[in-house]
Homo-oligomer: A and B are copies of this chain.
Amino acid sequence: MDAEEFRKAAYESIDKIVDYYKNLGENNTISSVEPGYLKALLPEQMPNEGESWDAVKADLDRAVIPGLTNWQSPNFFAFFPANSSYPAMLGEMFSTAFTGAAFSWICSPVVTEMETIVLDWLAKAIGLPESFLSRGTGGGVIQGSASEAAIVAVVAARERYIQESKVSGQEESDLRGKLVAICSDNTHSSTEKAAKIAGVHLHKVPTDPKDNYRLRGAPLRKAFQDLKAQGLVPFFVCASIGTTTICGFDAIDEVGSVCKETDSLIWLHIDAAYGGAALICEEYKDLLKGIEYADSFDMNMHKWMLVNFDCSCMFVQQRTNLTDHLTLTPSYLRNDATDSGLVIDYKDWQLPLGRRFRSLKMWMTMRMYGVEGFKNHIRRSVKQAELFNSLISSNAQFRIVTEPRLALVCFQVFSKSGEDITKTVADTLNAGKKYFVTYAVTSDGKGILRVVTGSPQTQDEHVKSLYNAILELI
């Protein structure tokens, strides 16, 4: 494929993408294919000779698009959103064209410097304290996902704890076997996975449904005491701004204060993967209360903030807490810029060595939306969630499980005879493929239906149609 063939194919691709977005509302949200569908449509081997773009394009329509679940559909109300935007797509186009494995500054200075700048922009916009900015002792880094951020935090916390404990030899080996990471029974599974990967114990502190499933100071203090009595050593706590099942807000100030009084070496990580986006609006800034206790904070631009997946923004108050424990620089990676200490090498802030130019899509999206554009987007989603909430509130067959949080509504559905039909309604609705919602179970065993607004494609009419579609099932 030469340059002119590429130009033509790329123009066609842009046209196809524009059409795809235009038709999102008319097509199903969930793919209708059956497991194994693609095997029947594609050959068993790579072709021996290269094929034409026209052949590939035909298969894109025939084989690929029918297998998509359309996260950008205005009728996607499942999980949390994974927003897309045109500016972010332009950013990814250039990022792909400028491809390289930019693991250190010299490997493409703009990849590093742009990342530092846009993460500072974001930190300021969402109200993180000065200490999380790069001009102080902290700074931000783009991870692939909140899961990777959690692994980085747990590993750095583990190594800091062991190093500062000044144990040696067999003592260190003993200590490693006793370390325990702590989260709540509502924390996203990524913390549990991070603990598994890091090879440490995990303990889940129970939350109180009557207290909106929040992690509070008192039960955390009790957990510390109980764990220590068992000979275990707490070294890491994850608190959330927006838990997954019901978007709970943990009491960060209490949690941080209890961590600090217990052991100043305990690492506090804030998982704001979903909720972090809302912090750009003044009315949510108080969710950050207690943030000064946090060692690290992570939020996803790729959820509710218009940057295409993947783009998870992790901030730390002390960047040496990462670089002291994640740095390896063999001879083939040494260079004058790194040796000078004047530059950041983000390879030492993350798990892998290589990295994509992910800040470019973030920069383009920030430039073209601006702070006001993001605020409008967030507030519009919240209003749509409130609209949905008002619709179900008017009908006795619905029972709201938690007060609506941000753009998430959690509720149960009952038949006219009073039977809990929440799961049946969720399954039947999803089986229709037009709408996508999530059925989940709360930590105290309640089956709930989760409806999240957040797609920029979603209009009020889609929210009303969803409500009417549910009405037809009950």
The residues of A with any CB-CB pair to B shorter than 8 Å are 1, 3, 5-7, 9-11, 13-18, 20-22, 30-31, 33, 35-39, 42, 44-53, 55-56, 59-60, 63-72, 79, 82, 84-90, 92-94, 96-102, 105-111, 113-114, 117-118, 120-122, 124-125, 144-145, 147-148, 151, 155, 158-159, 170, 172-174, 176-178, 189-190, 192-193, 196-200, 244-245, 302, 308-310, 325-326, 328, 330-333, 336-337, 340, 342-343, 351-354, 356, 360, 364, 366-373, 427, 438-441, 450
* Contact sample, A vs B, 30 pairs, CB 8 Å cutoff: A10-B17, A10-B93, A11-B14, A13-B90, A17-B97, A31-B109, A35-B105, A46-B121, A46-B367, A46-B371, A50-B368, A56-B368, A67-B109, A67-B110, A67-B114, A71-B99, A71-B108, A72-B99, A82-B99, A84-B99, A92-B92, A96-B308, A144-B144, A145-B354, A147-B351, A192-B328, A244-B332, A245-B331, A309-B356, A330-B440
When distances are taken between beta carbons in the complex, the residues of chain B under 8 Å from A151 are 197, 351
When distances are taken between beta carbons in the complex, the residues of chain B under 8 Å from A36 are 113, 342
Task: Give chain B nearest CB distance to A109 CB in angstroms.
Answer: 5
Contact B97 A84 (CB under 8 A): yes
Chain B: which residue is nearest A102 at the CB level? Answer: B69
A144–B114 CA distance with the chains assembled, in angstroms: 21
Task: Give chain B nearest CB distance to A57 CB in angstroms.
Answer: 9
Contact A46 B124 (CB under 8 A): yes
Contact B114 A64 (CB under 8 A): yes
Interface SS of chain A: helix, strand, loop or mixed?
A: helix
When distances are taken between beta carbons in the complex, the residues of chain B under 8 Å from A60 are 94
When distances are taken between beta carbons in the complex, the residues of chain B under 8 Å from A158 are 199
Q: A108-B67, A121-B46, A352-B147 are in contact. Are A90 and B9 (CB under 8 A)?
A: yes
When distances are taken between beta carbons in the complex, the residues of chain B under 8 Å from A96 are 84, 88-89, 92-93, 308
Q: A21-B3, A117-B38, A353-B189 are in contact. Are A370 and B69 (CB under 8 A)?
A: no
When distances are taken between beta carbons in the complex, the residues of chain B under 8 Å from A48 are 370-372
Contact A7 B15 (CB under 8 A): yes
Chain B: which residue is nearest A340 at the CB level? Answer: B35
